[in-house]
Amino acid sequence: MDMCSGSVLKKLLMFTLPLMASSILQLLFNAADIIVVGRFAGDNSLAAVGSNTALINLLTNLFVGLSVGVNVVAAKAHGAGDSENLSNVTHTAVLMSLFSGLLLAAVGLIFAPQLLTLMQTPENVLPLAVTYLRVYFAGMPSVMLYNFGAALLRSVGDTKRPLYFLIIAGIINVALNLVFVILLKMDVAGVALATVISETVSAALVVLCLIHEQGGIRLEPKKLRIHGKNLGEILRVGLPAGFQGVVFALSNVVIQSSINLFGDIVVAGNSAAANIEGFIYMAMNSFYQAAISFTGQHVGARKFERIPKILFCAQLCVVATGLILGWTAYMFGRPLLGIYTETPAAIDAGMTRMSVISTTYFLCGIMDVMVGMMRGLGYSVVPMIVSLAGACGLRILWIATVFQTEQYHSVFTVYISYPITWTVTLLVHIICFIIVWRKLKKRESAYFDEVKKRKKTTA
């Protein structure tokens, strides 16, 4: 897709809708795990799978953040028409993904019990949670390979083929869940193994796609090596994004640890509600990904005048998506939660969460699009600092102070920290974007003035 010409809104939607479907389908992996295990293995198993979510995000977000760096650097190379540089980025990224996956697999397999104990996972849930985490992390090389490969495809405007690959993997995942849990009675180990196998299939399909691709994004195994310059560019954008993701996940681990204090029924209800809300988040997050790719290509092509249009269209779409999906999920919350668990108390616990977070989730979407715009412009440290201080720092402070008081020591108090911190952080992001945008306009104006002077001198 040529993102640098034509209608911004039309092309944004053409790019985003397959990406949105891909993201939601990827989330269905975990949803299938939770639904099958909740219906056929019980609430303890449901809590075991759900209690792993925040920890998995904590351990993987640093490397998923690096894939954001891959997206930005590859999009700039593609926008500038530099095939050789794009090829170097491609081979550097694929090798990085393999190293990242192997490292994560080792950490998850060795330290699973200690990590889950630190999260105050209920004792009756802990053995099952450890089993799930270890099997899940054995498949980390495939997870990383898919994420980095999909980031490369997105950088050149291709969001359809990753969707096709995930459809295939999703069907495999659901089928294996049913076989392993219902027929073979493998409980949480079965759903984790099903996820690992399906993610390996999606990773293999992405690699085959890149091998048969044309141009700079073509993957040739004999050319796999780390190119220092490209690695530096990827790390400059990706490390702040990844570090931000880690600290965000850390704050969510603190949140999960606080929720764990209220027992396995509340944990089960929270897990089901969080999974439903995950579909809303992934739908909104696709506009964050689009903002990165579109802005990155325009920076590479030096078409800065269209960037405000990208911001307006992305925000318009993310607000509409967040409001429609968030409120729809809340209004149909009880039947949706009933898919995951038949326990009335767990459904009530899930509705408590959804009444706060689902209805205000659009604020998170607006905040993320602002972050995506700045990362696409090449500014990754600023949004990292703002997000860490705003969303993460304030959230942890809230748990350490307000939640600890006897009057407000409730699960509702934990949940209300989300919309409060989203609002504060969003306002600061807007101010930072305005400052960054003004600096870039001055820099670009000076660049074109210099180009004109050189042309006159040459003439």
Q: Mean pLDDT, to the nearest integer, of 185-190?
A: 88
Q: What is the mean pLDDT of the chain?
A: 86
The structure tokens listed for 333 are 């919350």
Given the structure tokens 């616990």, which residue do they identify? 349
pLDDT tens string 301-321:
888 888 899 999 999 999 999
* pLDDT-based confidence at residue 449 (cuts at 50, 70, 90): low
Residue ranges of domains in the chain? 8-458
Question: How far apart, in Å, are the Cα atoms of 41 and each of 36, 121, 183, 346?
Answer: 8, 18, 12, 15
Cα separation, 347 vs 332, in Å, equals: 12
Map residue 1 onto helix, strand or coil. coil
**Residue 125 scores a pLDDT above 60:** yes
Does pTM top 0.85 for this prediction? no
pLDDT at 55: 76
Residues 274 and 414: beta-carbon distance below 8 Å = no
pLDDT at 339: 85
Percentage above 90 pLDDT, the chain = 37
pLDDT tens string 59-77:
777 777 788 889 888 988 8
Cα separation, 370 vs 376, in Å, equals: 10
pLDDT tens string 393-445:
888 899 889 888 888 888 899 899 999 999 999 999 999 999 988 888 787 76
Q: Which amino acid is at 252?
A: N
Residues 347 and 334: beta-carbon distance below 8 Å = yes
User: Could you count the other beta carbons within 10 Å of the beta carbon of residue 214?
Assistant: 7
Better pLDDT: 33 or 363:
363
The structure tokens listed for 358 are 């689902």
Better pLDDT: 199 or 449:
199
Residues 38 and 338: beta-carbon distance below 8 Å = no
Cα separation, 201 vs 138, in Å, equals: 14
Query: Which of 118, 106, 203, 111 has its CA nearest to residue 162?
Result: 203
